[in-house]
Amino acid sequence: MNSFLDFLEKPGCHLCEEALPVAERIARKLKLTMRRIDIHDHDDLTREFSLRIPVVQIGGEVIAEGFIDYREALAAARRLR
């Protein structure tokens, strides 16, 4: 399994602020390093995820987006193993 959990966000996003602690909790539980990625720093990510953030990815696979439910996202992440 990939050793990184990517949290795609953008400044001023209230859903991102709410989802951040959930993503951090998932990363801790799975012993992953969390990387926070501002989609505005990457044109390709802005095009793909502009209306979908926050997005949680592991190994490039989206495990959750929008409202991030801890149990659902954790289950999705475990299925990637």
Cα distance between residue 69 and residue 19, in whole Å: 8
- pTM value is 0.94
User: SS3 for 56?
Assistant: strand
pLDDT of the residue at 1: 54
Kindly list the structural domains of the chain, giving each domain's residue range(s) and its CATH number in brackets, ordered by start.
4-79 (3.40.30.10)
Question: Chain centroid to CA 19: how far?
Answer: 8
**pLDDT tens figures, 8-59:** 999 999 999 999 999 999 999 999 999 999 999 999 999 999 999 999 999 9
Those residues with Cβ within 8 angstroms of residue 44's Cβ, 6 or more apart along the chain or in another chain:
none
Residue type at 11 in one-letter notation:
P
